[in-house]
Homo-oligomer: A and B are copies of this chain.
Amino acid sequence: MITGKNYIGNQLSATGNKTFKTFNPLLNIENQWHITEASNSEVNQAADLASEAFKTYSKISGVKKAEFLREIATQIEALGDELLQVYSSESGLPNGRAMGERGRTLGQLRAFANHLEAGNWVEASIDTAQPNRQPIPKVDLRKMNVALGPVVVFGASNFPLAFSTAGGDTAAALAAGCPVIVKSHPMHAATGEMVASAIIKAAKKIGLPNGVFSNLNSSGIEVGQQLVMHPKVKAVGFTGSIRGGRALYDLAAKRKEPIPVFAEMGSINPVIMLPKALNNRAEAIAKTCSGSITLGTGQFCTNPGLIIGVKSQGLTLFVNTLAKEIVKIEPSCMLHPNIAGAYETNKAKALSQNGLKVLAGYENDVEPNYARQVVTTVEGDTFLNNPTLHHEVFGPFSLVVQCEDEQQLEEIISNLEGQLTGTIISDDNEISEYQNIVNALQNRVGRIIFNGVPTGVEVCPSMQHGGPYPASTDSRFTAVGVDSIKRFVRPFSFQDWPNNLLPDELKNQNPLGITRLVNNVKTTAKI
């Protein structure tokens, strides 16, 4: 069933001569499949097909696109247990996680289908003509969101389903009316091919143009670069490292026609612990943190890599409890030897910084590719003066910063780079005394959490997943939830356009019954 080939539109294709294999980190062996890297000409073919498909796909109805997304979900379900097995063999993630992530993926596809059926995502706006207005007549203007063009999606290493082949970016782009070319993640190319086959089946069943979806394999960076530079590509979605995301952003910005790159990148997700909370429940907080740090072997972009408090008895108790709790947790497998290797390297680099102390770490021997969690601590001024300590260590690593006072706490927050999330641990009324700290944190993050953990990203309309750089390349958009469609659309105005030639969304009769802004009033009424 797994061929190792690329999907160039509906066609399986392997004209290139470079192959690679994926890796099973649990068994510490290569997987069996020979994956063929996409060739230059295959990349061009995929882009040409996508550009051609855009002409019709961008114009089909929301209801038809919804059918497509639902059919993709159905076809993914039809892949059955084999998908879960391949997923685990390429990620080391357990079956429960595989099932959960598949559920999330299907949920996302169906949420976009609902969103399309409701139809309001086009943000239709109509200003009717006033032919007798003085001194000049007012024209009729009607605006709605339209698709941007072919989108390239780079899947995430840590979400082989939910943020990869048919994940959030793909679902958002397809919902918008943009054909998608996935640059498959090399760590889970076989999982990617299975999901790609489901998308292609769905596209054929719904009768969509060839090229609405392609899936390209690559173990290096060339295919991705070629895609981002291709003149027919109009936007990019990416989930991964700051280095990778920034490289693509820079490449896209240098094009003759620059294109938007939405890259969701690293984050250390600061957790701020206020004094009364620490005083009253340091041990409970430490237990919660310990679980969040090690969840999914720390391989989440919302992993709490930084915990900050002001020195107190409570903070000391927190630190001691965290040290005790963290070692109780059984280490687990990382996604790939490269990621396990990078964890060791980055951890070692952090541990070698002056003033950084290890609080506790798992020290027993572990299987290959397993990550041994570690929690560390540092003084506030040491942290402030060493930018290396502000960088993400992707994995089950966390740093507790012990501040001298509230002022230093605020200074530290203000000096943080942009983050996906920030968390405040507070007793009920305590937080109102720390408005400066809350404000400083708000300016650095995309989502702020009260008495919770940053891990666990709910897929719902009110989720913002994207923060000031380098959390993402454009904080004005989200990577999670139906509003992520906004990354791939642009507003378009029709002036004095004949009613019968307007898209249904803008016709006088409002045949779709959507909510529109008509002469500045929201309404579902006809005109």
Q: Which A residues have a C-beta under 8 Å from some C-beta of B? A: 55, 59, 120, 125-127, 136, 138-139, 141-143, 146, 148-149, 249-250, 253, 257-258, 260, 417-418, 428, 431-432, 438-439, 442-443, 446-452, 456, 458, 460-464, 466, 468-470, 473-478, 483, 486-487, 489-498, 500-501, 515, 517, 520, 522
Contact = CB atoms under 8 A, between A and B. Distances in A.
A446 B136 CA distance: 23
Given A253-B249, A452-B139, A492 B447 contact: yes
B498 A450 contact: yes
A390 to B, nearest CB: 13
A520 B461 contact: yes
Contacts of A59: 439
Contact of A496 (B136, B146, B451): B451
Contacts of A483: 125, 491
Per assembly, the copies of the chain total 2
A417 B258 CA distance: 12
B495 A452 contact: yes
A433 B449 CA distance: 56
A490 B486 CA distance: 12
Nearest to A495: B449
A114 B469 CA distance: 32
Contact of A495 (B258, B439, B448): B448
A497 B421 CA distance: 13
A139 B458 contact: yes
A432 to B, nearest CB: 6
Contacts of A515: 522
Nearest to A469: B257
A432 B497 CA distance: 12
A108 to B, nearest CB: 15
A264 to B, nearest CB: 14
A149 B466 CA distance: 16
Contact of A473 (B258, B466, B490): B258
Contact of A148 (B143, B432, B476, B500): B476
22 contacts: A126-B462, A141-B462, A143-B462, A149-B443, A249-B258, A253-B253, A257-B418, A257-B470, A260-B476, A432-B500, A446-B491, A447-B493, A447-B495, A448-B492, A448-B493, A450-B498, A452-B496, A462-B517, A463-B493, A464-B491, A464-B492, A478-B491
Contacts of A447: 492-495
B442 A492 contact: yes
A222 B1 CA distance: 61
A426 to B, nearest CB: 9
A517 B482 CA distance: 13
B462 A127 contact: yes
Contacts of A260: 474, 476
Contacts of A448: 492-495, 497
A466 B148 CA distance: 13
Contacts of A136: 456
Contacts of A463: 127, 141, 143, 493
Contacts of A417: 257
Contacts of A468: 257, 490
A496 B464 CA distance: 14
A247 to B, nearest CB: 13
B439 A55 contact: yes
A55 B444 CA distance: 12
B498 A458 contact: no
* Those 8 A-B pairs whose CB atoms lie nearest each other, nearest first: A253-B253, A464-B493, A141-B462, A447-B493, A449-B495, A143-B462, A125-B462, A127-B462
Contacts of A148: 475-476
Contacts of A475: 148, 490
Contact of A125 (B432, B461, B487, B492): B461
Contacts of A487: 476
A50 B138 CA distance: 38
A452 B498 CA distance: 12
Contacts of A486: 476
A471 to B, nearest CB: 11
